[in-house]
Structure 1
Amino acid sequence: MNQKFKTALLFLILPLLAVAQSVITGTIKDASTGLPVPSASVLVKGTSNGTATDFDGNYTLNNVPDGAVIIFSYIGYTTQEVVYTGQSTLDVALAENPSELDAIVLIGYGSIKQENVTSAQETIKSEEFNKGAITSPGQLIAGKAAGVQVTAASGRPGDGPVIRVRPGSTLDGNQDALYVVDGVPLDQRNASLNSINPNDIESITILKDASATAIYGNRASNGVVLITTKKANFSSDLKVRYDVQFAVEKVDNYTDVLTGDEFRQMVADQGRDTSILGDANTDWQDAIYQNGTRAIHNLTIEKGYDNTSIRASLGYNNEHGTLQRSGYERASLSLNVIQKLLDNKLKLTFTSQLAQEEIRNADTGAVGAAVVFDPTQPIFSGNDLYGGYFEYTNSTGIEPNAPRNPLGLLNSLDSQLDNYQARLNMNAEYKLPVKGLKFTGNAGIDYNEFDSYSLRDANSGAGDRVASKNFSRGIRRNNLLDGRFDYKKDLEKINTQMDLTLGSSVQTFFRQSFDRGLENGLLVDFLSSPDENSIVTFFGRASFDINDLLVLSGSYSSNGSSRFSEDNRWANFYGVSGALKLTNTDFIKNSTVLSQLKIRGGFGQTGQQDINDPFAFISTFTPGQQTAAVQFGNQFVTTIRPEGSIDLVWETTDQWNAGIDLGFFNDRVTGSVDGFYRETSDLLLFGPLPAGGLENGSIQNAGSTLSRGIETSINVKVLETENMSWNIGGNITFQEIEITDLAGANDDPVSSVGGISGGVGNFIQEWAVGSDPTTFHVYRQVYDQDGAPLDGVFVDTNGDNVINDADRVRYKKANHDAYFGLTTNFSYKRFDLSATLRGAAGGYNYNNVSSNSANLATIFPTNTQNPLYLNTPSDFLNTGFSDQEVFSDYYVQKADFIKLDNVSLGYNFPGDKVDIRASITGTNLLTITDYDGVDPEVFNGIDNNLFPRNRGIILGLGFNF
């Protein structure tokens, strides 16, 4: 083309470009207040051409073509789209989007607007869940909620974490929260959360204070966890999603023991006979562990019609554990269907979860055996005796007082538990002819059937030429029928919105097991007595939103439990709470800094009735009498005699809660602070206690506890643009609990808990008035000038020149003073990155692995026919203890920790027909601690052969069709 022609053409095009590509300026303001909105996003739709407003709400956007659509958006406001038609100035007023405050959240037997919540509760949605190869629902929320402590599962396949909502209010009773899945309260003694596929969960709501949980009455002292499963939307396109994850895991940490060479040197240094040692350098812990693998598959199909929504999912999880011969397999199927009828007056919701679990049980005794087995001995003996494994023997066979070959233990046991779970629920909502009146009915069943066996090879050290066979099966059934009326009405004359609920519930539980085992060489059947109990509840709630400023709420629950005698069968519980929504005042609405302020407070009374004995109120330990036995065929059954009834009543918990919710800079920063004070009385305790206390073997009301704490959480939206977002959330909880009474005892220790290995009277923790229930009861160790513990030297605390039990003191505790969580989520275009950090401080562990094994008496046992030596934790080199000093405070060790739970990186590949998301996730990546044991995170504070947790790398692919 001619150069002159090119030049002329360019001069003709430039003016056209100047017209078509323009510069726009303008201001973005709040529609209600007229105040500028800083950092609002201005973007040309379908492009990356965008900008953001300055502090005064002003913006300049270049190169805007005629006819382009400009998007104006900011978090908390309704997004606007404006077609550009040549304007040089374009001002926009964004209207506040009340969706976050108006979001509907679950409460007990119903739902409510988020802004009208008056109690301490928190909802974690699916997009906020922890990432990774998640097996149990509890893992989804670890570190996510203040006041909720999730103790990570061990490395055992299929193990779920322990979840505690605030400090446990009871001592002997069940400290688990009440779990409610799609409206069905689970059996607190068999919650079986692992039967729920985490991929099917939409949200988890934790009700923390008694004003929120009182409507559940007799089983709500330890909080309530509401789990909602996913459902399809109405009028939605067919969606098919397939996700696959593959994980490789390895043991995070081993117990630090002597190597073969170090052990030989130690034996020589002690002047012992080294000729009985072997020539090997066997790492027994390495021998019993392997790289674990896990594969998780999830297929989801959902479709919405005008009056019907259907969601179905199929999940499969197969895990080969890091401890050899351990594993977990789960297949799950869920189907959720919603159907609207009668011109949308009737809504039927059917939810179901079916699961089959196979748990392959390895012999966990191998974990402890691998710590102490002689590292100079080989794994195999060179002959076929005892499966070819090296074992300690004497003239008659296996040495009974020696450990078994760890690998031989694992390979000689075939043990499996098969678990079948069906959870079905039908919910019906009907809008009655009276405006605002609705009836909701709920019928559900939670059915569990299990079958297990354990077979031990006779030709092994563990079998010692005698095979063992044990079989067990049983059923657990939970039936629910409830109904309620909800009535909502605007009382216009007094500018009040009224919300009333009235209903009742009947729930029955049945459990029975059937065991078969060897007795005198024969297989014998053992049928347990059926365990059946029922709970009847009448409940109500009233809530009033006055002038969109003050919310008052009260709930009441009358409960009857068959676990108690007729005189004490019924009890009443209640909760009252209120909130002042200062967010809706003119002062907050006109503020450029403070965007949300709500003050909450409440009181409630709840109960605890979950005890193992369904007829605990009838004593089978009548003084001076013997129970009668009745013969049925060849079996004798001990009868329950009505004499000597125990006048049991409910545990009762009174709880006060006060809180404040805050938001700043149009809720770019939000947070809350809650304080609680809780007293529990009439503790249900299982004997024995001191004279004048409980009868040995009976249950009575005998004590009280007091707990208190402060919970804080904060969430910061660091960035929020069209292409990039970054959120940081954190929470920290401070809490304490103490025993205030035990059967009228003084401040002396009165009951032993926390069994340990070694020693006589193997209890390292003891309940005592004025102490935390997890307080350790120990001798105070004396140290030399270099800080080394003196062998067998303790402080004479009472000054009587004799060291005995009277010199043991209460020292430290397992419960942490504080625990925290920190999460972050970052996204840029198609990339996303998330991480979760957890930690705890102020708690201690008792290192029972070292206290039991790190001493000369254990290393060189004298109770065997032939001499043998046992390995020891390396800590022995620091102490040189001659005997087991199991009650020395030397073994009570600080267990503060910080854990990087997971880091996940993902990328989305868009396609014409299929969108693909690829991700890589690391779990249990880092632990920072000064604790000497394998892992500082021990639920009860007693570290005794903890199954090590795993570190894993997970690759994931998701396909959206």
Structure 2
Amino acid sequence: MQQLCKQLKYILCFIPIFAVAQNDIKGKVLDSDTSDPLPIVNILNQNTGNGALTDFDGNFILEGVSMNDVLLFSYIGYTPKEVTYKGETDLTISLKASVSNLQEVVLIGYGSASKKDVTAAVAKVSAKDFNQGAIISPEQLIAAKTPGVRVTTAGGAPGTGSRIRIRGGASLSASSDPLIVVDGIPLDQGNELQGTRNPLNAINPNEINDFVILKDAAATAIYGSRGSNGVILINTKKGRKNTPWELSLDVKGSYGFNNEGIDVLSADEYRQFVADFDSDPANAGNLKSQFLRNANTDWQDEIFQNGYGIIYDATVSKGFKNTILRLNSNTNIQQGALRTDEYRRSSWNLALTQFLLDNDLKITVTSKNSFGFNRFANNKAINAALSFNPTNPIYDPNNPANFFEERDAGGNLLVNAPGNPLGILLQDRNTSDNTRSITNVALDYKIKYVPGLRFNLNTGFDYGEAKNGRQFQPANTGINKLPFDNIKTYSGINRNQLLDFYFNYKKDINRLNTTVDITAGYSYQSFFESKYNSETNNGELVALSPEINTNKLIGYLGRASFDIANKYLISGSIRRDLSSRFSEDNRVGYFPGASVGWKLHNENFLKDSNVLSQLKLRAGWGITGQQEISENYAFLSLITPSDTGAFVQFGDQFIQTNRIEAVNEDLKWEETTSFNIGMDFGFLRNRISGSIEYYTRDTDDLLATVPVPAGTNTSDFLTVNAASTTSEGIEFLLNATIIDKKDFSWNAGFNITYSTREIEQLNLSNDPDFFVPQGGISGGVGNTVQIWKPGYDPTTFFTFRQIYDDEGNPIEGAYVDVNGDNQISEADRIASKKATPDFLAGFTSTFTYKAFDLNMTWRGSFGGYNYNNAQSILGNIASSLNNSGDFIQNTTSDFSNTNFQNAQFFSDYYLEKSDFVKLDNITLGYNIDNQKMKWRFSVTANNLWTITNYSGIDPEVFVTDVISQREGIDDSFYPRQTSLIFGVNLKF
């Protein structure tokens, strides 16, 4: 007890010492360059965990600070600073600004500019912002990341491509795809080799440094004839000077889970369905139970599988004094959700940078080389799985091909019956190999005798080859009911060669307080395409004549930009283009662009603001073109050989014929005139930043394939400059650093886009009632459910207005008599609802806590509709049980809601809202960092959760090429799987 009292006395003696040693300190935090106070600076006592924030005048009070405590001062946009407390009661701390994102350099096409000086609608998405997971196609990295850009994948097929639409696209029959420029090489927009899945797959996503998206004409006019649908600049990784050898190894493994399929009747439900049909006295002479069998087969379950994949990626890099080297190898193996669907790709990538002449000359060599193998699953199996009798067995031991097929009493295959879905997949072997090389050499030379003058030369090629393409379908099977094998072979070459150069002159004219930036250059690009196909005809392999196409583009370009007093920005550009796709009279096009900006934050009345970091107003106008049509020589009268389906039989021989193609000598450029006004803003050293844009776009002389009077040409349809469209939209972007502490941070970004588009004119006579049917569907012959018509969006549906009974059920054949003539005819079909959404939204959130990080991306689409073709073709008695022939087919569960006896293809009952919100991507990562190596472990879930009322597999129906206008038609959709991806990355 005495000893305890001594210890207690000893401890109590030190209490006054501690009380004296702990202080409440106050202070101020300033910008080291301007001495301006910094608000909301985070101050953390790293010894105790106590913290404080500065007020709007930069002042702070921090309690309970002891001698030698380490205080951390951190503020977004500034380099963190540690201060050891030495007993001061009043501190003044200066923080140095780190490289501001306003100083960030962005590509603008044939040059670059500081982000703060950009006056056009330009967005940059860097590697830190990319979507995560087993990404195969580069464009998937930027889905939902910026307003006005819509990226829609083609479904669940491995390596499949996506449709990218920037501000909705500007064309009808011509391509609406943006121009893609990879390390200075514009890729071929129009030609995609048969036997490949996506032209962008040649680019390893892990090797991409950033995307720059040019959205308005002020930015894209420098690309002239190819700028109407926007431009995406892809910049790959190059490495840095004076860095040690670094090796990076990355391995990702993915596993996919099938989501719900289309709701068709199970075998037992189908038996009851047939029994109910047979029990109806009206069907006494047409009993169907004789076609029921004893199996219980879920055909969708038989054709789909849990897809899986693995990605290996290795990179080695080194930065010397005058040389930078980067080598990358990538292997990607993917199995699709549909059985037999397989994609393999290996790639080798080189980036070499050499500095010469005292660093005045920079030579950059990049080469991206890929080697791919594809086995394509036959998508016809998807529709067959919906309709094939669920009481049928999978296999038939009496059939030489092993699979059960519908046959007549004589054992012959029924031509009109669907084939065995699993047999369609396993008996159809369609494979191909392909190679791709995108290589360029760029020279950037600072001409020392003229300060500020640079010369840039860029030359390169893009070579793609499809080879060993072969599709084999054995005779007398569900996929090939003919008595001879069906064999197709195919191969092809695409070659794109580039040479461009430009001079750039930048000069600060101090006397005028103005910075001048002038660019002038020349561009030449040639494209070559060859295709070779053969196929069986009457049991013999027939080689078709090779198809060879070439076209060339020549451009002269210039741009001048002025920054006056670091406040007022003026920029203008013009390009003169020549295209071989048009006749000499229409070959030349001029494409100007201009934009202005006002940096209000640098005005005297705002520059001392402690809250406002950036406030810039900008406006742009320009004219851009479009020449991407499928015909390279549409202005010439050409004679081409026919395919096998058009051979003429003479006795036992089938003779290939020649046909005269349609000709339009007056074909010329599309011209899109656009206007953009925007505002960029930032607060609290850009802790909160964003932009808002309004744009309008009018396209004239629009290329459209429209019907022409019989006898006026060699075809019933002709591509002419007959249409015009108009569109407008509003885009909003907001990024915020919500929490920024040493061990915990939270960054979030939100964007939303509103857009509308309509056709103003569709034919040369400007007839407002003229329309062109679009949107082909399955079922019947030549049926369409969409329309091109002045005053409507190009994806507008064209249907009858369904009438419903008192219980809300549709009445078969009962439609609104729109024109009041007491009969239902084609004149009562109306244009209403559209596939393209009114609003697109994206939300990204990133959390970090010590060594952990959590990133998620959400996407939303609102205001669009889908036509549910699967329901319209199967959800009726005639399709299921009244087939002419000795077979019956399944139906959808929706039949119980309609009781349709016959197909009602043109009823707006099948138009469903396609609104959705998707948790597209969520990644949890853990990082281990020491002096010798860095480890990162991650798990990612893709396509995790979809909130929608749409009854189909997926509300996001693949946006097909606008030429075929099948956006919003849900037919044979390849489902996207939910996938889990496990990743390990090592750097040392």
Please name the residue that 2:564 is paired with: 546
Which shows bigger deviation, 373-382 or 568-577? 373-382
Per the TM alignment, residue 129 of structure 1 is displaced from its structure 2 partner at its CA by 0.3
1:53-452 pair list within 5 angstroms: 53-54=54-55, 57-60=59-62, 62=64, 66=68, 70-82=71-83, 84-97=85-98, 99-190=100-191, 192-271=199-278, 272-395=287-410, 397-432=412-447, 433-451=449-467, 452=469
**For 1:456 and 1:215, how far apart are their aligned partners in 2?**
49
Please name the residue that 1:948 is paired with: 975
Secondary structure, aligned partner of 2:901: coil
**For 1:503 and 1:34, how far apart are their aligned partners in 2?**
44
Deviations 1:661-711 (A, max 9, x none): 111233221111111111101111223246899862432211111111111
1:580-591 pair list within 5 angstroms: 580-591=598-609
Picking from 608, 611, 617, the partner of 2:626 is 608
Which shows bigger deviation, 190-199 or 428-437? 190-199
Picking from 708, 721, 746, the partner of 1:701 is 721
**For 2:935 and 2:49, how far apart are their aligned partners in 1?**
22
Please name the residue that 1:626 is paired with: none
Amino acid at match of 2:159: G
Amino acid at match of 2:127: S
1:454-465 pair list within 5 angstroms: 454-458=471-475, 460-464=477-481, 465=483
Picking from 662, 687, 693, the partner of 2:706 is 687
Secondary structure, aligned partner of 1:299: strand
Amino acid at match of 1:118: T
Overall identity of the aligned pairs, in %? 44
**For 2:466 and 2:833, how far apart are their aligned partners in 1?**
41
Secondary structure, aligned partner of 2:225: coil
**For 1:54 and 1:480, how far apart are their aligned partners in 2?**
56
Per the TM alignment, residue 780 of structure 1 is displaced from its structure 2 partner at its CA by 1.2
Secondary structure, aligned partner of 2:389: coil
Q: 1:318 to 1:20 in 2, by over 3 A?
A: farther
**For 1:55 and 1:507, how far apart are their aligned partners in 2?**
56
Which shows bigger deviation, 399-408 or 12-21? 12-21
Amino acid at match of 1:397: N
Residue ranges of structure 1 left out of the alignment (5+ in a row): 623-628
Amino acid at match of 1:460: T
Deviations 1:890-912 (A, max 9, x none): 11111111111011111112345
Picking from 754, 757, 769, the partner of 1:737 is 757
Amino acid at match of 2:243: S
Please name the residue that 1:777 is paired with: 798
Picking from 756, 760, 779, the partner of 2:777 is 756
C-alpha contact 1:458 1:468 (8 A) present in aligned 2: yes
Secondary structure, aligned partner of 1:170: coil
**For 1:258 and 1:316, how far apart are their aligned partners in 2?**
42
Amino acid at match of 1:954: I
1:545-564 pair list within 5 angstroms: 545-564=563-582
Per the TM alignment, residue 347 of structure 1 is displaced from its structure 2 partner at its CA by 0.3
Q: 1:370 to 1:635 in 2, by over 3 A?
A: closer
Which shows bigger deviation, 934-943 or 379-388? 379-388
Deviations 1:19-47 (A, max 9, x none): 99876542213456765433313346799
Picking from 482, 487, 512, the partner of 1:494 is 512
C-alpha contact 2:710 2:716 (8 A) present in aligned 1: no
What RMSD over aligned residues (CA atoms) do the two structures have, in Å? Answer: 2.6
TM-score w.r.t. structure 2 length?
0.92
Residue ranges of structure 2 left out of the alignment (5+ in a row): 193-198, 279-286, 641-647, 649-653, 960-966
Q: 1:636 to 1:861 in 2, by over 3 A?
A: closer
C-alpha contact 1:759 1:884 (8 A) present in aligned 2: no
Secondary structure, aligned partner of 1:90: strand
TM-score w.r.t. structure 1 length?
0.94
Q: 1:16 to 1:315 in 2, by over 3 A?
A: farther
Picking from 671, 689, 692, the partner of 1:670 is 689
Per the TM alignment, residue 88 of structure 1 is displaced from its structure 2 partner at its CA by 3.8
Which shows bigger deviation, 54-63 or 290-299? 54-63
Q: 1:479 to 1:61 in 2, by over 3 A?
A: farther
**For 1:370 and 1:729, how far apart are their aligned partners in 2?**
42
**For 2:659 and 2:466, how far apart are their aligned partners in 1?**
28
**For 1:639 and 1:409, how far apart are their aligned partners in 2?**
34
Deviations 1:762-796 (A, max 9, x none): 11111111111111111111111111111111111
Count of paired positions: 947
C-alpha contact 1:154 1:946 (8 A) present in aligned 2: yes
**For 1:305 and 1:592, how far apart are their aligned partners in 2?**
42
Please name the residue that 1:787 is paired with: 808
Amino acid at match of 2:532: F
Please name the residue that 1:37 is paired with: 38
Please name the residue that 1:891 is paired with: 910
Secondary structure, aligned partner of 1:698: strand
Q: 1:177 to 1:937 in 2, by over 3 A?
A: same
**For 2:547 and 2:673, how far apart are their aligned partners in 1?**
35
Amino acid at match of 1:58: F
**For 2:153 and 2:705, how far apart are their aligned partners in 1?**
28
**For 1:520 and 1:20, how far apart are their aligned partners in 2?**
100
C-alpha contact 1:724 1:827 (8 A) present in aligned 2: yes
**For 1:363 and 1:500, how far apart are their aligned partners in 2?**
54
Per the TM alignment, residue 53 of structure 1 is displaced from its structure 2 partner at its CA by 3.4
C-alpha contact 1:157 1:359 (8 A) present in aligned 2: no
**For 1:496 and 1:635, how far apart are their aligned partners in 2?**
72
Per the TM alignment, residue 296 of structure 1 is displaced from its structure 2 partner at its CA by 1.1
**For 2:591 and 2:655, how far apart are their aligned partners in 1?**
44
Amino acid at match of 2:634: A
Deviations 1:317-348 (A, max 9, x none): 11111111001111111111111001001000
Amino acid at match of 1:214: A
C-alpha contact 1:850 1:875 (8 A) present in aligned 2: yes
Matched, 1:723 2:739: no
C-alpha contact 1:679 1:706 (8 A) present in aligned 2: yes
C-alpha contact 2:288 2:881 (8 A) present in aligned 1: no
**For 1:786 and 1:677, how far apart are their aligned partners in 2?**
45
Per the TM alignment, residue 286 of structure 1 is displaced from its structure 2 partner at its CA by 0.6
**For 1:321 and 1:824, how far apart are their aligned partners in 2?**
29
Per the TM alignment, residue 133 of structure 1 is displaced from its structure 2 partner at its CA by 1.0
C-alpha contact 2:484 2:538 (8 A) present in aligned 1: no
Please name the residue that 2:865 is paired with: 844
Secondary structure, aligned partner of 1:287: helix
Per the TM alignment, residue 114 of structure 1 is displaced from its structure 2 partner at its CA by 0.4
Secondary structure, aligned partner of 2:189: coil
Please name the residue that 2:951 is paired with: 932
Secondary structure, aligned partner of 1:91: strand
Deviations 1:870-916 (A, max 9, x none): 10111111111111110111111111111110111111123453321
Deviations 1:232-262 (A, max 9, x none): 1101122111111111102223011111111
Please name the residue that 1:625 is paired with: none
Please name the residue that 2:195 is paired with: none
Deviations 1:642-665 (A, max 9, x none): x97521110000000000111123
